[in-house]
Chain A
Amino acid sequence: MRLLSYSKMSFVAGFLLVFLAPFPPSASCQTYPDKPINIYCGFAAGATTDLTARGLANGLEKLLGVPVVVENKAGGGATVAAGLVASKKPDGYTLGVVSTGVISVRPHLLKLAYDPLKDFTLICQYARYIGAVTVLKDSPFKNIEEFIAHAKVNPGLSYASPGMYTQQHLATELFRQCKGLDFKHVPTKGGAEANTQLLGKHVNFVAGAGQHIQYVKQGVFRMLAVFNTDKRDPNYPDVPTIKELGCQDAPALGYIVVGPKGLPEAIYKKLSEAIKKVTEGPDFQKLLSHLEIPYDYKDRAQLEKDVLVEYEFYKTFLEKMGAKKE
């Protein structure tokens, strides 16, 4: 008897609840933001992308008045984070900080979890990535020429990069092809992890992505050549660019903030204004100069144009490089 009333009660309750189910949950634009905002960062904790994302998050929190939480979803050169962002609701509570590579580079090489040109609302770009061939201070190579000579005689040198098909990886591959060398590529989840591999001497050199600057400043690393740029780094005038060595370079990608496709205009406006304010603000600028990352702000209109150009560029670039879609 008791058993029957259990089943009855559960059916009644369940029925009542499910009966009320057809009403969809509501979303509101008026009161945005009124919940914590999640920012998925495409690289691991401690990498320059992560640090700038956290700087951005702190500034946004002050402006918008809600907690802004950075979650690291590293992998695949920020494609993991990008895929996650693309899958979320466009309610302004999920954003991503990734590199433009997730849109313009990687889709040519892999089948991914998102459509690069359709699944995102681009919000803005705030900086450019830099890169360098970096070795430990106590390594025998004092400059890039010695390095190349050594590499010719010893094929199979290994290097760590911030991820598969990041600009640093691509630039190193171009360099490799150009000089006819043979490297082993170890992808990691971000600049910080790549640097750790070098610190532990598990790899021979690192395709530094920004975080290496801190170690160079402290005298632990030495830069041999910079890439992803046309000019020498003003802070390190002795270090040549890859172009000067006669090799083709991969153009620098940008740090961008994105949201899922279909972000409502009102929410977008609020967000982009806030982000612009934060990135122009003294705290953020200080962070960028501390990390020695070039500030390069692009708003949505500019970014959308440039990204398409980049997309087409990399399509031909990669084809010429011989990289094919897996």
Chain B
Amino acid sequence: MDFFANLLTGLSVAIEPTNLIYCFIGVFVGTLVGVLPGIGPVGAMAILLPLTFGLPPTTSIIMLAGIYYGAMYGGSTTSILVNIPGEAASVVTCLDGYQMARQGRAGPALGISAFGSFIAGTLGIIGLQAIAPPLVSVALRFGPPEYCSLVILGLVVLSYLAQKSMPKALMMAALGVLLGTIGLDTMTGRPRFAFGIPELLDGVGLVPLAMGLFGISEVFINVEQAVRREIYDTKLKNLLPTFKDWMDSKWAILRGTVIGFFIGALPGPGTSVASFVSYAVEKRVSKNPEKFGTGVIEGVAGPESANNAATAGAMVPLLTMGIPGSVAVAILLGALMIHGITPGPMLVKQHPGLFWGVIASMYLGNIMLLVINLPLIGMWVRLLRIPYAIFFPLILMVCLIGAYAFNRSTVDVGLMLFFGVLGYLMRKFEYEPAPLVLAFVLTPILDDALRQSLILSGGSFTIFVLRPISSGCLIIAVLLLITSAFPYFRKKGAKGAAELNG
């Protein structure tokens, strides 16, 4: 099959010693950077970009892709260990992953995350080779109205993830949208809600927001404990996922992969959306949905697979049509163009070595991720054994550095503290931070898509229902809302009936 011949060509390129070394460096640095909050994959790629100048194009791309993958995985590590999401895609992993860590199951959580990512990444790359072109034409059919409906669906799904009160979760999502509009309006360039603070012109940073709402507030809540209690159960149950864990997770991983790959192929939303759609799907199909949020392994396996598959999926529009799906991928695009290569339909024909070489190196990158990270699990888990009294100031310190390093500004650190306090109060009053952060990430897409759609339709909302993909998303959203409100009405009805009879 042509497919394998190409793969072999690609592998021969990828196995060249220089490429292997740079792949390793990329993955290693990427993981390191991903674990440290504040400098995301984009920052790492940007800082390491100069190293690629002297290198041939294939090698540079291989290294950059390695960083990207590594950083995605590193972000999950902090989510699981200390409830601090490394970036948007890891927010969902915090929900169950951290709880597993608290129960002494950090090892299995990290392990299934690594393996799930590996499997998903590998399958994703196969998908990339096999169905990239037809996938792109579907992806292109997503115009502004489709994106808008997709985001709305995403927001409803988010609130559906709510453990407790759906109105409260929806409110948090709306609040996230509101926070997302702070900054300069991307259509007109006017400042919105910036209160004259220059640092706010760029909007609220995701890093201070997420670290504050999750990390700092977590520390506040934990130190409140009057009785000196260890936050993490130090009796380690296992270092790696058990057979049962695997059995529980296998479908989650597969589902996550499929979901992640397709969502990743859409230019725009990408990895964060993929991870929480996967979480929602897992919760929906699970026999014990109420257990989600208490440390259920599917809640980690699914999203982690999804976001890795999305990473592979994001390569689809790039390599086939030259459309960068997200900023990180755009850096790859930039690197290619600087070397005089234009990604697009011609890429495969003009530079087959590059194309297949990059793909093959992604396989290798995934393997390296596994090889590097599995032994580290033992180290991470031991880290959790440090008494919380010593641990939490260090966590705070890393957060402070991360918030500062994000944009070299103390205003961001101040914002993080503000959100930390807000997050603490929110938890006390039982409002959940996750929908807020995820809505915040989606808002730029929503803003543009909504306004562009209305312009296209001349002010009419019918455009959202007349187009098939868009109406499909909205219908699912409405159904979700109804089915979650329904039990409420049932209960009221039952109570009313009981009162009548009693």
- Are these two chains actual partners, yes or no? yes
Q: Which of A62-70, A173-181, A270-278 contacts B (4 or more CB under 8 A)?
A: A62-70
Report the nearest B residue to A113, measured CB to CB.
Answer: B191
Q: What 6 A-B pairs come out closest when comparing CB atoms? A: A76-B189, A45-B330, A79-B189, A75-B186, A202-B143, A87-B198
Interfacial residues, chain A to chain B (CB-CB below 8 A): 35-36, 44-46, 50-51, 54-55, 58, 61-62, 67, 69-70, 72-77, 79-80, 82-84, 87-88, 106, 110-113, 156, 158, 164, 184-189, 192, 195-197, 199-203, 214-215, 218, 220, 283, 286-287, 290, 326
Nearest chain A CB to B345 CB, angstrom units: 6
- Given A69-B46, A72-B327, A197-B143, A45 contacting B334 (CB threshold 8 A): yes
Report the nearest B residue to A160, measured CB to CB.
Answer: B452
Could you list some 9 contacts between A and B, CB below 8 A? A36-B47, A46-B333, A75-B185, A77-B189, A80-B185, A83-B189, A113-B191, A200-B143, A287-B338
A54 in contact with B338 (CB, 8 Å):
yes
Interfacial residues, chain B to chain A (CB-CB below 8 A): 43, 46-47, 49-50, 53, 140-144, 184-191, 194, 198-199, 201-202, 267, 321-324, 327, 330-331, 333-334, 337-338, 340, 342, 344-346, 408, 448, 452, 455-456, 458
B49 in contact with A80 (CB, 8 Å):
no
Chain B residues with CB under 8 A of A113: 184, 189-191, 194, 201
Set B190, B337, B338: member contacting A110, Cβ < 8 A = B190
> In the docked arrangement, what's the CA distance between A214 and B330, Å?
16
Report the nearest A residue to B447, measured CB to CB.
Answer: A75
Nearest chain A CB to B288 CB, angstrom units: 41
- The A interface, classified by DSSP as helix, strand, loop or mixed, is mixed
> In the docked arrangement, what's the CA distance between A196 and B49, Å?
26
> In the docked arrangement, what's the CA distance between A66 and B389, Å?
39
Nearest chain B CB to A160 CB, angstrom units: 9
Nearest chain A CB to B196 CB, angstrom units: 10
B184 in contact with A80 (CB, 8 Å):
yes
Set A76, A106, A200, A286: member contacting B184, Cβ < 8 A = A76
B50 in contact with A61 (CB, 8 Å):
yes
Report the nearest B residue to A87, measured CB to CB.
Answer: B198
- Given A75-B184, A218-B345, A220-B345, A46 contacting B323 (CB threshold 8 A): yes
B186 in contact with A184 (CB, 8 Å):
no
> In the docked arrangement, what's the CA distance between A283 and B53, Å?
11
> In the docked arrangement, what's the CA distance between A86 and B49, Å?
27
B330 in contact with A72 (CB, 8 Å):
yes
> In the docked arrangement, what's the CA distance between A188 and B345, Å?
23
Nearest chain A CB to B371 CB, angstrom units: 29
A45 in contact with B333 (CB, 8 Å):
yes
A58 in contact with B50 (CB, 8 Å):
yes
> In the docked arrangement, what's the CA distance between A189 and B189, Å?
11
Nearest chain B CB to A278 CB, angstrom units: 12
Set B43, B189, B324: member contacting A69, Cβ < 8 A = B43
B187 in contact with A164 (CB, 8 Å):
yes
B140 in contact with A199 (CB, 8 Å):
yes
Set B188, B202, B323, B331: member contacting A196, Cβ < 8 A = B323
Set B43, B189, B342: member contacting A75, Cβ < 8 A = B189
Report the nearest A residue to B48, measured CB to CB.
Answer: A67
Set B194, B338, B448: member contacting A189, Cβ < 8 A = B448
Report the nearest A residue to B333, measured CB to CB.
Answer: A46
> In the docked arrangement, what's the CA distance between A215 and B323, Å?
11
- Given A36-B47, A287-B337, A80 contacting B189 (CB threshold 8 A): yes
> In the docked arrangement, what's the CA distance between A287 and B340, Å?
7
Set B49, B187, B189, B202: member contacting A112, Cβ < 8 A = B189
Nearest chain A CB to B390 CB, angstrom units: 17
Report the nearest B residue to A94, measured CB to CB.
Answer: B408
Nearest chain A CB to B114 CB, angstrom units: 30
Chain A residues with CB under 8 A of B194: 113
B190 in contact with A184 (CB, 8 Å):
no
Known: A79-B188, A84-B202, A195-B323. 20 other contacts (CB 8 A): A45-B327, A46-B322, A46-B324, A61-B50, A62-B50, A67-B46, A67-B49, A69-B47, A76-B184, A79-B184, A80-B186, A87-B198, A106-B189, A113-B189, A113-B191, A164-B189, A215-B344, A220-B344, A220-B345, A290-B342
Nearest chain A CB to B42 CB, angstrom units: 8
> In the docked arrangement, what's the CA distance between A283 and B335, Å?
13
Nearest chain B CB to A150 CB, angstrom units: 18
A184 in contact with B185 (CB, 8 Å):
no
Report the nearest B residue to A25, measured CB to CB.
Answer: B410
A202 in contact with B456 (CB, 8 Å):
yes
Report the nearest B residue to A203, measured CB to CB.
Answer: B456
- Given A45-B333, A58-B338, A111-B190, A70 contacting B46 (CB threshold 8 A): yes
By CB atoms of chain B within 10 A, which of A46, A82, A203 has the most? A46
A50 in contact with B452 (CB, 8 Å):
no
> In the docked arrangement, what's the CA distance between A44 and B330, Å?
9
A184 in contact with B337 (CB, 8 Å):
no
Chain B residues with CB under 8 A of A67: 46-47, 49-50
Chain A residues with CB under 8 A of B143: 197, 200, 202
Chain B residues with CB under 8 A of A220: 344-345
Chain B residues with CB under 8 A of A51: 334, 337-338
Chain A residues with CB under 8 A of B338: 51, 54-55, 58, 283, 287
> In the docked arrangement, what's the CA distance between A57 and B63, Å?
19
> In the docked arrangement, what's the CA distance between A164 and B186, Å?
9
Set B188, B331, B456: member contacting A76, Cβ < 8 A = B188
